[in-house]
Chains A and B, each alone.
Chain A
Amino acid sequence: MKAYLALEDGTILEGSSFGAVGEVIGEFVFNTGMTGYQEVLTDPSYCGQIVTMTYPLIGNYGVILEDIESARPQVKGFVVREMCKTPNNWRSLETLSEYLGRNGIIGIEGIDTRALTRILRDKGTMKGIISTSPDFSLESRLSKINEYRVENPVEQVTVKEMIHHKGTGLRVALIDYGIKLNIVRSLLKRNCEVFQFPASVTSEEVLAVNPDGIMLSNGPGDPKDCGQQIKTLRELIGKKPIFGICLGHQLTALAMGGDTEKLKYGHRGCNHPVKDLDRDLTYITSQNHGYTIIEDSLDSSVMKVSHRNMNDGTVEGVRYMNVPVFTVQFHPEASPGPADTAYLFDRFTSMMEDWKGDKHAKT
């Protein structure tokens, strides 16, 4: 079936439909990862977004149950050049098209995704539409596209109630702003006992489980829309060791007086080089973010940049001086992408151990 892809700037591309049929409006972004489409689809940080994969052959290994990052696909729409009809992998259960169809996600293939990526790169992230309507016209949809806004994306994707993941080690309060499951898996692998809270959790509720540390997850949208979460963080900072990832990283900065801004077209992919300034080593990281911390907004007596993006120099990690808090913009939990920075989870557990030790020493 024919399908159309149109952007707010007037670009119209024709392709074929896969997955669900219908019409969907969203914010168009591109991801440059060559593998990991399933992890991308199920990453809640993509809430409200239509994702274009730059790699042309998508769906080659079908859909694998264990490789999801949340219970369902989170993207609003999916754009690929070629959707594989004959996937093959020993773990594969169904084709990507079947999976998206089953979950009501509209996909379009046969798109010159490189041309689309260049448009998004040059003009920045844009709103747009995918439609399988046979009499599609952009004019008739333009006002709807222009009005499009993702309302409270964090609320849409966070857990509704606290989930308790059993473990025998350190107790971690995990605030879920739209979490990727591999953050939970990474903590569990380190024997942590994890209390996964909804984003609306209060500081009292967090402290009530007497955690050894607090983990802040990734999540979708503009960090500045998360006033309540920022307030909660302010109350928690200094009370327990904190490790924040992605949105958690941005919210911490805002809570500590920093500022954030939207990037032209964001960082989404598995090949972003980030330098750990303490180690003086560069790691390849997995990324998915449209906003970034403004370096000039950081009070150097309170926090310092610990990681930097080697491509565009943006802030990728912050260490706070007088409180046991560190945060990173990228995804040390990988999935998709390289696991080179998994050591940060170990850094977090040592920080919790140290804090525990100090507390014992003090009492």
Chain B
Amino acid sequence: MTWPERHLRLCQAMLYVAILAAWEILPRTGLLPRLFVPPLSEALGALVTDRREYLGSLPTTFGEILASYAIVCGGGILLGQLVGSSATARRMLLPVLRSAYAVPLVVLYPVMMVWFGLGSQSKIAFASIYAFVPTMLTAVAGVAALSPALGETARAFGATRAQQILYISLPASLPSIVAALRLGGALVIVGVIVAQMLGAADGLGFLITRHRTLLNSPGVYAGIVLVLLITGMHEILLRRLERRVAAYRQGA
């Protein structure tokens, strides 16, 4: 690392330390009302003291996340592959989907609650709808970006359609599939938590809301920190997967 780079990293580290220190000190001095922002240690403390409660909310939450993940990534990516490989389908569907992206899907949650009640089904339905289109669009873009030369070369060697998909399209679109997984996963996690916040009987989002109504701000922040940990871990895992997949492609 060159000296300016080292200098930069040092300044960045100092910045982060300063922010964390401010989070701890400012509420204690009363400059930031404790109700709005509790000291960092209290928030983390609440996480530890109430850990049974928080950990207890995880099975439901993870279950809903995983179920939505399967629907979005299975269905969304598969559909994305199909649509992406046909120029006609892309031409017809993409403008519609891009316009539909503007619709604030959050308004669908009250409908989900009417249909499925407060249980897990409404969360899974909502998160799946919320994440479906963006994930599919990513998968479509990935397939559309594939060089047609690859397919033509395969056909020149007499490959059947199935062989083309198996040996050319699928491996070639792997990086974009992982990118779609990454996006879909992030949206699914947010979708589930937000749905739980809006109306649920269980789950991490439900806990956060409950602490908020009780004006227990350390509890609220503890929940938020936990959500950030979950999204952070997901992000790290998927970036690692993305790198490994891209490495294969470059080696090819």
- Same complex for A and B? Answer no
